[in-house]
Amino acid sequence: MNEAPDPEQIKESEIFSTDPQLVLADERYEVIGSILCEVYEPGDAKWVLSDMLDRVLLHKYLGLPIFVVIMWAMFHFTFQISVVFMEMVAQFFTWLGTYTSLIEIPWLASLLTDGVLSGVGFILTFVPPIFFLYLAISILEDTGYLSRAAFVMDRLMMKMGLHGKSFIPLLLGFGCSVASVMAARTVDGESNRFTTILVSPLMSCAGRLPIYILIAGVFFPVYAGTIVFLMYMLGIVMAIIVSLIFKKFLFREESSSLLMELSQYQIPTVHGSFRHMWDRGLLFLKVAGSYLMVGSIIMWLLSSFGLSGYGVPVEESFASILGKIFEPLFIPLGFSWQIVTALIFGVIAKEAVVQTLSIIYAVGGTATLAVALTASISPLSAFALMVFVLLYIPCLATIGAVRKETGSWKWTAFSVIYQFILAYLVALIVIFIGGFFIG
Protein backbone atom coordinates (compact mmCIF):
# COMPACT_ATOMS: atom_id res chain seq x y z
CA MET A 1 0.00 0.00 0.00
CA ASN A 2 1.42 3.37 -1.05
CA GLU A 3 1.98 5.91 1.69
CA ALA A 4 0.78 9.47 1.28
CA PRO A 5 3.61 11.89 0.47
CA ASP A 6 4.88 13.98 3.34
CA PRO A 7 3.83 17.66 2.86
CA GLU A 8 7.14 18.80 4.34
CA GLN A 9 9.04 16.74 1.77
CA ILE A 10 6.92 18.18 -1.02
CA LYS A 11 7.67 21.71 0.21
CA GLU A 12 11.40 20.99 0.42
CA SER A 13 11.50 19.52 -3.10
CA GLU A 14 9.69 22.56 -4.47
CA ILE A 15 12.11 24.89 -2.71
CA PHE A 16 15.23 23.12 -3.95
CA SER A 17 13.91 23.01 -7.54
CA THR A 18 13.41 26.78 -7.53
CA ASP A 19 15.99 29.47 -8.10
CA PRO A 20 17.46 30.16 -4.61
CA GLN A 21 17.46 33.89 -5.26
CA LEU A 22 13.71 33.83 -5.92
CA VAL A 23 13.13 31.86 -2.71
CA LEU A 24 15.19 34.34 -0.69
CA ALA A 25 13.43 37.28 -2.32
CA ASP A 26 9.99 35.81 -1.54
CA GLU A 27 10.97 35.18 2.08
CA ARG A 28 12.49 38.65 2.42
CA TYR A 29 9.42 40.43 1.09
CA GLU A 30 7.15 38.21 3.20
CA VAL A 31 9.00 39.39 6.31
CA ILE A 32 8.87 43.00 5.08
CA GLY A 33 5.13 42.62 4.48
CA SER A 34 4.47 41.27 7.96
CA ILE A 35 6.38 44.18 9.53
CA LEU A 36 4.58 46.76 7.40
CA CYS A 37 1.22 45.35 8.47
CA GLU A 38 2.09 46.22 12.07
CA VAL A 39 3.67 49.65 11.62
CA TYR A 40 2.22 51.10 8.41
CA GLU A 41 -1.31 52.26 7.68
CA PRO A 42 -1.87 52.83 3.96
CA GLY A 43 -3.66 55.95 2.84
CA ASP A 44 -5.58 56.62 -0.34
CA ALA A 45 -3.83 55.16 -3.39
CA LYS A 46 -2.33 57.88 -5.56
CA TRP A 47 -0.65 57.68 -8.93
CA VAL A 48 2.78 59.28 -8.96
CA LEU A 49 4.89 60.19 -11.98
CA SER A 50 7.20 57.18 -11.44
CA ASP A 51 4.26 54.79 -11.59
CA MET A 52 2.91 56.39 -14.75
CA LEU A 53 6.30 56.25 -16.47
CA ASP A 54 6.79 52.60 -15.52
CA ARG A 55 3.31 51.80 -16.79
CA VAL A 56 4.49 52.91 -20.25
CA LEU A 57 8.24 52.16 -20.28
CA LEU A 58 7.79 48.67 -18.81
CA HIS A 59 4.71 47.82 -20.87
CA LYS A 60 4.67 44.29 -22.22
CA TYR A 61 4.31 45.44 -25.83
CA LEU A 62 5.43 49.09 -25.80
CA GLY A 63 8.56 48.66 -23.68
CA LEU A 64 10.77 47.12 -26.39
CA PRO A 65 9.84 49.57 -29.21
CA ILE A 66 10.41 52.48 -26.83
CA PHE A 67 13.83 51.07 -25.95
CA VAL A 68 14.74 50.81 -29.65
CA VAL A 69 13.59 54.39 -30.33
CA ILE A 70 15.61 55.70 -27.37
CA MET A 71 18.71 53.86 -28.63
CA TRP A 72 18.21 55.30 -32.13
CA ALA A 73 17.83 58.81 -30.71
CA MET A 74 21.00 58.34 -28.65
CA PHE A 75 23.16 57.41 -31.65
CA HIS A 76 21.55 60.01 -33.91
CA PHE A 77 22.26 62.66 -31.26
CA THR A 78 25.84 61.40 -30.89
CA PHE A 79 26.58 61.71 -34.60
CA GLN A 80 24.81 64.99 -35.31
CA ILE A 81 26.20 66.98 -32.38
CA SER A 82 29.73 65.69 -32.96
CA VAL A 83 30.12 66.83 -36.58
CA VAL A 84 31.22 70.38 -35.75
CA PHE A 85 33.70 69.28 -33.08
CA MET A 86 35.17 66.60 -35.35
CA GLU A 87 35.75 69.21 -38.06
CA MET A 88 37.45 71.52 -35.56
CA VAL A 89 39.84 68.77 -34.44
CA ALA A 90 40.54 67.78 -38.06
CA GLN A 91 41.30 71.37 -39.04
CA PHE A 92 43.69 71.72 -36.11
CA PHE A 93 45.75 68.68 -37.15
CA THR A 94 45.66 69.79 -40.79
CA TRP A 95 47.09 73.15 -39.72
CA LEU A 96 49.71 71.40 -37.59
CA GLY A 97 50.65 69.22 -40.55
CA THR A 98 51.51 72.25 -42.68
CA TYR A 99 54.37 72.97 -40.27
CA THR A 100 55.66 69.42 -39.77
CA SER A 101 55.79 68.92 -43.54
CA LEU A 102 58.31 71.81 -43.76
CA ILE A 103 60.93 69.90 -41.77
CA GLU A 104 64.02 69.61 -43.97
CA ILE A 105 64.76 65.98 -43.07
CA PRO A 106 62.44 64.06 -45.45
CA TRP A 107 61.97 60.90 -43.42
CA LEU A 108 61.30 62.86 -40.20
CA ALA A 109 58.82 65.13 -41.96
CA SER A 110 57.03 62.10 -43.36
CA LEU A 111 57.04 60.32 -39.98
CA LEU A 112 55.49 63.28 -38.17
CA THR A 113 53.06 64.29 -40.93
CA ASP A 114 52.06 60.99 -42.55
CA GLY A 115 52.65 58.80 -39.49
CA VAL A 116 51.90 60.53 -36.20
CA LEU A 117 49.47 63.24 -37.35
CA SER A 118 47.71 61.09 -39.94
CA GLY A 119 47.45 58.22 -37.47
CA VAL A 120 47.01 59.56 -33.95
CA GLY A 121 45.63 62.89 -35.16
CA PHE A 122 43.00 61.29 -37.34
CA ILE A 123 41.88 58.97 -34.53
CA LEU A 124 41.53 61.94 -32.18
CA THR A 125 38.97 63.49 -34.53
CA PHE A 126 36.61 60.73 -33.37
CA VAL A 127 37.00 61.55 -29.69
CA PRO A 128 33.99 63.97 -29.68
CA PRO A 129 31.39 61.34 -30.73
CA ILE A 130 32.84 58.87 -28.21
CA PHE A 131 32.54 61.45 -25.43
CA PHE A 132 29.00 62.38 -26.46
CA LEU A 133 28.03 58.69 -26.57
CA TYR A 134 29.27 58.33 -23.00
CA LEU A 135 27.31 61.46 -22.08
CA ALA A 136 24.09 60.01 -23.49
CA ILE A 137 24.64 56.71 -21.67
CA SER A 138 25.38 58.60 -18.44
CA ILE A 139 22.14 60.56 -18.74
CA LEU A 140 20.11 57.38 -19.30
CA GLU A 141 21.88 55.75 -16.38
CA ASP A 142 21.37 58.71 -14.02
CA THR A 143 17.66 58.94 -14.83
CA GLY A 144 17.17 55.31 -13.81
CA TYR A 145 16.13 54.15 -17.28
CA LEU A 146 18.96 51.67 -17.86
CA SER A 147 17.75 49.38 -15.09
CA ARG A 148 14.32 49.44 -16.71
CA ALA A 149 15.91 48.67 -20.08
CA ALA A 150 17.42 45.56 -18.50
CA PHE A 151 13.97 44.58 -17.23
CA VAL A 152 12.42 45.14 -20.68
CA MET A 153 15.12 43.15 -22.47
CA ASP A 154 15.03 40.29 -19.94
CA ARG A 155 11.83 38.80 -21.36
CA LEU A 156 13.26 38.69 -24.89
CA MET A 157 16.64 37.42 -23.74
CA MET A 158 15.05 34.61 -21.74
CA LYS A 159 13.16 33.44 -24.81
CA MET A 160 16.37 33.46 -26.84
CA GLY A 161 18.37 31.51 -24.28
CA LEU A 162 20.36 34.28 -22.61
CA HIS A 163 20.52 34.56 -18.84
CA GLY A 164 18.52 37.43 -17.38
CA LYS A 165 21.62 38.94 -15.78
CA SER A 166 23.48 38.90 -19.10
CA PHE A 167 21.97 42.20 -20.18
CA ILE A 168 24.18 44.30 -17.89
CA PRO A 169 27.50 42.80 -19.17
CA LEU A 170 26.27 43.14 -22.74
CA LEU A 171 25.30 46.76 -22.11
CA LEU A 172 28.81 47.43 -20.80
CA GLY A 173 30.04 46.15 -24.17
CA PHE A 174 28.90 49.44 -25.70
CA GLY A 175 31.81 51.00 -23.85
CA CYS A 176 34.49 48.29 -23.82
CA SER A 177 34.40 44.57 -24.62
CA VAL A 178 36.96 43.87 -21.89
CA ALA A 179 34.63 45.27 -19.23
CA SER A 180 31.75 43.31 -20.76
CA VAL A 181 33.62 40.00 -20.61
CA MET A 182 34.81 40.59 -17.05
CA ALA A 183 31.32 41.57 -15.88
CA ALA A 184 30.02 38.18 -17.06
CA ARG A 185 31.41 36.67 -13.85
CA THR A 186 28.25 37.92 -12.11
CA VAL A 187 26.06 35.62 -14.24
CA ASP A 188 24.84 32.50 -12.46
CA GLY A 189 25.74 29.07 -13.83
CA GLU A 190 28.90 28.13 -15.71
CA SER A 191 27.20 27.54 -19.06
CA ASN A 192 25.23 30.80 -18.77
CA ARG A 193 28.44 32.63 -17.90
CA PHE A 194 30.37 31.07 -20.79
CA THR A 195 27.59 31.95 -23.23
CA THR A 196 27.66 35.57 -22.07
CA ILE A 197 31.46 35.71 -22.35
CA LEU A 198 31.45 34.30 -25.88
CA VAL A 199 28.80 36.68 -27.22
CA SER A 200 29.92 39.82 -25.36
CA PRO A 201 32.52 40.81 -28.03
CA LEU A 202 29.69 40.99 -30.59
CA MET A 203 28.48 44.20 -28.97
CA SER A 204 29.83 47.38 -30.57
CA CYS A 205 32.53 48.84 -28.33
CA ALA A 206 33.73 52.45 -28.44
CA GLY A 207 36.74 51.38 -30.53
CA ARG A 208 34.46 50.43 -33.43
CA LEU A 209 32.62 53.76 -33.39
CA PRO A 210 35.31 55.69 -35.36
CA ILE A 211 35.06 53.08 -38.15
CA TYR A 212 31.27 53.36 -38.31
CA ILE A 213 31.36 57.16 -38.32
CA LEU A 214 34.04 57.26 -41.02
CA ILE A 215 32.33 54.79 -43.37
CA ALA A 216 28.80 56.06 -42.74
CA GLY A 217 29.90 59.68 -43.09
CA VAL A 218 31.67 59.02 -46.41
CA PHE A 219 29.21 56.64 -48.09
CA PHE A 220 25.87 57.35 -46.35
CA PRO A 221 26.10 60.97 -45.13
CA VAL A 222 22.33 61.59 -45.09
CA TYR A 223 21.60 58.47 -43.02
CA ALA A 224 24.86 58.30 -41.06
CA GLY A 225 23.24 58.34 -37.61
CA THR A 226 20.75 55.64 -38.59
CA ILE A 227 23.49 53.46 -40.12
CA VAL A 228 25.54 53.67 -36.91
CA PHE A 229 22.40 52.77 -34.93
CA LEU A 230 21.83 49.74 -37.18
CA MET A 231 25.34 48.47 -36.43
CA TYR A 232 24.67 48.57 -32.71
CA MET A 233 21.28 46.88 -33.14
CA LEU A 234 22.85 44.24 -35.39
CA GLY A 235 25.36 43.47 -32.64
CA ILE A 236 22.48 42.87 -30.20
CA VAL A 237 20.59 40.71 -32.69
CA MET A 238 23.65 38.62 -33.52
CA ALA A 239 24.43 38.17 -29.81
CA ILE A 240 20.91 36.81 -29.28
CA ILE A 241 21.06 34.51 -32.33
CA VAL A 242 24.49 33.14 -31.46
CA SER A 243 23.55 32.61 -27.82
CA LEU A 244 20.45 30.71 -28.94
CA ILE A 245 22.65 28.43 -31.07
CA PHE A 246 25.13 27.94 -28.22
CA LYS A 247 22.37 27.12 -25.74
CA LYS A 248 20.93 24.56 -28.13
CA PHE A 249 24.12 22.75 -29.13
CA LEU A 250 26.84 23.61 -26.58
CA PHE A 251 25.23 24.66 -23.31
CA ARG A 252 21.95 23.18 -22.21
CA GLU A 253 21.64 24.71 -18.75
CA GLU A 254 18.33 26.45 -18.14
CA SER A 255 18.42 30.21 -17.82
CA SER A 256 17.11 31.74 -14.60
CA SER A 257 15.06 34.85 -14.10
CA LEU A 258 16.46 38.33 -13.61
CA LEU A 259 15.84 39.52 -10.07
CA MET A 260 16.46 43.22 -9.53
CA GLU A 261 15.04 46.24 -7.74
CA LEU A 262 14.27 49.25 -9.89
CA SER A 263 15.75 52.51 -8.68
CA GLN A 264 13.67 55.68 -8.48
CA TYR A 265 13.57 58.04 -11.44
CA GLN A 266 15.81 61.03 -10.96
CA ILE A 267 16.60 64.21 -12.86
CA PRO A 268 20.27 63.90 -13.89
CA THR A 269 22.54 66.72 -12.85
CA VAL A 270 24.81 68.49 -15.31
CA HIS A 271 27.82 67.94 -13.06
CA GLY A 272 27.11 64.24 -12.52
CA SER A 273 26.46 63.37 -16.18
CA PHE A 274 29.45 65.31 -17.47
CA ARG A 275 31.62 63.84 -14.73
CA HIS A 276 30.69 60.29 -15.79
CA MET A 277 31.30 61.22 -19.43
CA TRP A 278 34.71 62.66 -18.61
CA ASP A 279 35.82 59.71 -16.48
CA ARG A 280 34.82 57.12 -19.09
CA GLY A 281 36.14 59.15 -22.01
CA LEU A 282 39.44 59.78 -20.26
CA LEU A 283 39.80 56.07 -19.54
CA PHE A 284 39.26 55.37 -23.25
CA LEU A 285 41.95 57.92 -24.18
CA LYS A 286 44.41 56.43 -21.71
CA VAL A 287 43.88 52.89 -23.02
CA ALA A 288 43.94 53.98 -26.67
CA GLY A 289 46.87 56.35 -26.18
CA SER A 290 49.02 53.56 -24.76
CA TYR A 291 49.40 51.97 -28.17
CA LEU A 292 48.26 54.54 -30.80
CA MET A 293 51.59 56.34 -30.92
CA VAL A 294 53.59 53.11 -31.20
CA GLY A 295 51.08 51.76 -33.72
CA SER A 296 51.43 54.89 -35.86
CA ILE A 297 55.22 54.57 -35.99
CA ILE A 298 55.07 50.86 -36.84
CA MET A 299 52.45 51.43 -39.55
CA TRP A 300 54.46 54.31 -41.04
CA LEU A 301 57.56 52.08 -41.18
CA LEU A 302 55.63 49.31 -42.93
CA SER A 303 54.08 51.78 -45.38
CA SER A 304 57.30 53.72 -46.12
CA PHE A 305 59.75 50.84 -46.39
CA GLY A 306 59.83 47.90 -48.75
CA LEU A 307 62.28 45.35 -50.06
CA SER A 308 64.16 48.20 -51.79
CA GLY A 309 64.41 50.32 -48.64
CA TYR A 310 62.90 53.70 -47.75
CA GLY A 311 60.78 55.72 -50.14
CA VAL A 312 59.29 52.90 -52.22
CA PRO A 313 55.74 53.37 -53.60
CA VAL A 314 53.18 52.31 -51.04
CA GLU A 315 52.05 49.54 -53.43
CA GLU A 316 55.51 47.95 -52.97
CA SER A 317 55.80 48.51 -49.21
CA PHE A 318 55.78 45.87 -46.50
CA ALA A 319 52.23 46.94 -45.62
CA SER A 320 51.21 46.14 -49.19
CA ILE A 321 52.96 42.77 -49.09
CA LEU A 322 51.17 41.89 -45.84
CA GLY A 323 47.77 42.91 -47.18
CA LYS A 324 48.17 41.20 -50.54
CA ILE A 325 48.96 37.87 -48.87
CA PHE A 326 45.41 37.71 -47.47
CA GLU A 327 43.68 39.84 -50.14
CA PRO A 328 42.44 36.83 -52.20
CA LEU A 329 40.38 35.68 -49.23
CA PHE A 330 38.53 39.01 -49.17
CA ILE A 331 38.01 39.47 -52.92
CA PRO A 332 34.38 38.22 -52.65
CA LEU A 333 33.73 41.02 -50.15
CA GLY A 334 35.35 43.67 -52.37
CA PHE A 335 38.07 44.62 -49.87
CA SER A 336 41.33 46.05 -51.23
CA TRP A 337 44.74 45.19 -49.78
CA GLN A 338 44.73 48.47 -47.86
CA ILE A 339 41.54 47.46 -46.06
CA VAL A 340 42.86 43.93 -45.44
CA THR A 341 46.02 45.36 -43.86
CA ALA A 342 43.91 47.66 -41.68
CA LEU A 343 41.77 44.70 -40.54
CA ILE A 344 44.91 42.78 -39.54
CA PHE A 345 46.08 45.67 -37.37
CA GLY A 346 42.53 46.01 -36.08
CA VAL A 347 43.07 42.80 -34.12
CA ILE A 348 45.47 44.79 -31.92
CA ALA A 349 42.76 47.39 -31.34
CA LYS A 350 39.69 48.29 -33.39
CA GLU A 351 40.70 51.96 -33.54
CA ALA A 352 43.80 50.84 -35.46
CA VAL A 353 41.64 50.10 -38.53
CA VAL A 354 41.01 53.80 -39.15
CA GLN A 355 44.53 54.69 -38.05
CA THR A 356 46.11 52.22 -40.50
CA LEU A 357 43.98 53.35 -43.44
CA SER A 358 44.83 56.97 -42.74
CA ILE A 359 48.59 56.29 -42.68
CA ILE A 360 48.62 54.03 -45.76
CA TYR A 361 46.74 56.53 -47.92
CA ALA A 362 48.72 59.50 -46.52
CA VAL A 363 52.04 57.82 -47.37
CA GLY A 364 50.60 57.00 -50.79
CA GLY A 365 49.96 60.68 -51.41
CA THR A 366 46.16 60.62 -51.32
CA ALA A 367 44.75 64.00 -50.29
CA THR A 368 41.97 62.76 -48.03
CA LEU A 369 40.88 59.40 -46.68
CA ALA A 370 37.33 59.96 -47.92
CA VAL A 371 38.54 60.31 -51.52
CA ALA A 372 40.70 57.21 -51.19
CA LEU A 373 37.87 55.09 -49.79
CA THR A 374 35.33 56.07 -52.45
CA ALA A 375 37.90 55.18 -55.11
CA SER A 376 38.77 51.77 -53.62
CA ILE A 377 35.46 50.22 -52.50
CA SER A 378 31.79 50.42 -53.42
CA PRO A 379 29.07 51.57 -50.99
CA LEU A 380 27.88 47.96 -50.71
CA SER A 381 31.38 46.74 -49.80
CA ALA A 382 31.67 49.66 -47.37
CA PHE A 383 28.52 48.51 -45.57
CA ALA A 384 29.85 44.94 -45.56
CA LEU A 385 33.09 46.29 -44.07
CA MET A 386 31.19 47.80 -41.15
CA VAL A 387 29.40 44.50 -40.58
CA PHE A 388 32.70 42.61 -40.73
CA VAL A 389 34.36 44.98 -38.24
CA LEU A 390 31.37 44.58 -35.93
CA LEU A 391 31.62 40.79 -35.80
CA TYR A 392 35.20 39.75 -36.52
CA ILE A 393 38.07 38.80 -34.19
CA PRO A 394 38.03 40.78 -30.92
CA CYS A 395 40.99 42.95 -29.94
CA LEU A 396 43.96 41.49 -28.06
CA ALA A 397 42.82 42.92 -24.73
CA THR A 398 39.43 41.22 -25.12
CA ILE A 399 41.06 37.94 -26.15
CA GLY A 400 43.13 38.13 -22.97
CA ALA A 401 40.00 38.80 -20.91
CA VAL A 402 38.24 35.79 -22.46
CA ARG A 403 41.25 33.62 -21.61
CA LYS A 404 41.26 34.87 -18.03
CA GLU A 405 37.51 34.47 -17.43
CA THR A 406 37.16 31.05 -19.08
CA GLY A 407 40.51 29.74 -17.87
CA SER A 408 40.83 27.85 -21.15
CA TRP A 409 42.83 28.37 -24.33
CA LYS A 410 40.35 26.08 -26.08
CA TRP A 411 37.41 28.41 -25.50
CA THR A 412 39.58 31.42 -26.29
CA ALA A 413 40.56 29.93 -29.65
CA PHE A 414 36.93 28.99 -30.25
CA SER A 415 35.90 32.62 -29.62
CA VAL A 416 38.42 33.92 -32.17
CA ILE A 417 37.61 31.35 -34.85
CA TYR A 418 33.83 31.45 -34.63
CA GLN A 419 33.76 35.25 -34.72
CA PHE A 420 35.91 35.40 -37.85
CA ILE A 421 33.74 32.82 -39.62
CA LEU A 422 30.57 34.60 -38.47
CA ALA A 423 31.85 37.98 -39.67
CA TYR A 424 32.86 36.62 -43.06
CA LEU A 425 29.57 34.79 -43.63
CA VAL A 426 27.36 37.71 -42.58
CA ALA A 427 29.40 40.17 -44.67
CA LEU A 428 29.14 37.77 -47.62
CA ILE A 429 25.36 37.59 -47.14
CA VAL A 430 25.27 41.40 -47.20
CA ILE A 431 27.18 41.42 -50.51
CA PHE A 432 24.93 38.71 -51.98
CA ILE A 433 21.63 40.30 -50.96
CA GLY A 434 22.81 43.82 -51.80
CA GLY A 435 24.10 42.67 -55.19
CA PHE A 436 20.78 40.98 -55.89
CA PHE A 437 18.85 44.21 -55.36
CA ILE A 438 21.41 46.52 -56.96
CA GLY A 439 22.06 44.22 -59.90
Q: How much is the pLDDT for 10?
A: 46
Total tally of structural domains belonging to the chain: 1
**Does residue 37 fall inside a structural domain?**
no
What is the rounded average pLDDT for all residues in the chain? 80
| Angle CA 417–422–423, to nearest 5 | 100
Q: How confident is the model at residue 1 (pLDDT cuts 50, 70, 90)?
A: very low
**Does residue 45 fall inside a structural domain?**
no
Q: How much is the pLDDT for 22?
A: 58
**Does residue 199 fall inside a structural domain?**
yes
**Does residue 3 fall inside a structural domain?**
no
Q: What are the distances in angstroms from CA 327 to CA 35, 61, 268, 339, 344?
A: 71, 47, 49, 9, 11
For residue range 85-122, what is the model confidence (pLDDT) as tens digits?
Answer: 888 888 888 888 888 878 888 878 887 887 777 767 77
pTM, rounded to two decimals: 0.77
**Does residue 29 fall inside a structural domain?**
no
Please check whether residue 219 is in contact with residue 190, taking contact to mean a CB–CB distance below 8 angstroms: no
**Does residue 160 fall inside a structural domain?**
yes
**Does residue 41 fall inside a structural domain?**
no
For residue range 336-359, what is the model confidence (pLDDT) as tens digits?
Answer: 999 999 999 888 878 888 888 888
Q: What are the distances in angstroms from CA 398 to CA 140, 198, 209?
A: 26, 11, 16
Which residue range forms the structural domain that includes residue 202?
63-253+274-438
Residue 227 has pLDDT above 50, yes or no: yes
**Does residue 50 fall inside a structural domain?**
no
